[in-house]
Amino acid sequence: MSGIILLTVPTIIFGGNFILNLLSGAHQQLELTDFQLAMFRAGHGHAGVLVILALIAQFLADYSRLGSSWSWFVRGGFPLAAILVSGGFFAAAGGQGTTEPNAFIFLLYAGMLLLATCLVALGVGLLRK
């Protein structure tokens, strides 16, 4: 699982380069709103932080007392939450001239719920040790 998570990092690097280009004035033909730029920056930042957390969680799961099903739920849930949260920011800001979140904001909330569930499960598993 850690290897799969690490393979996602180049996509975050590529996204960071794209955001940097946007903020430097490139791609002006996209005509993004301030809201869209803010959501894209938030999506990128959350992706990086949550991928690091997903990597750390893999090691913490090794030291927890979780059953097999819960262990795999936690191991897969953290990277999936990273995808849902960051993807939610991007998808909710999609469209021409968007100035408020669209219906895809539910992805962000689903990711937050999954992340909270995984955090509590892993925390309990570690305390049971």
As a dihedral over the C-alpha atoms of residue 22, residue 27, residue 33, residue 39, rounded to 10 degrees, the angle is -40
**Distance (Å, whole) CA 63 – CA 41:** 34
Task: Give the pLDDT confidence of 34-84 residue by residue, as tens digits.
Answer: 999 999 999 999 999 999 999 999 999 999 999 999 999 999 999 999 999
**What is the model's pTM?**
0.91
| Cβ atoms 70, 62 nearer than 8 A | no
Task: Give the pLDDT confidence of 13-46 residue by residue, as tens digits.
Answer: 999 999 999 888 888 888 899 999 999 999 999 9
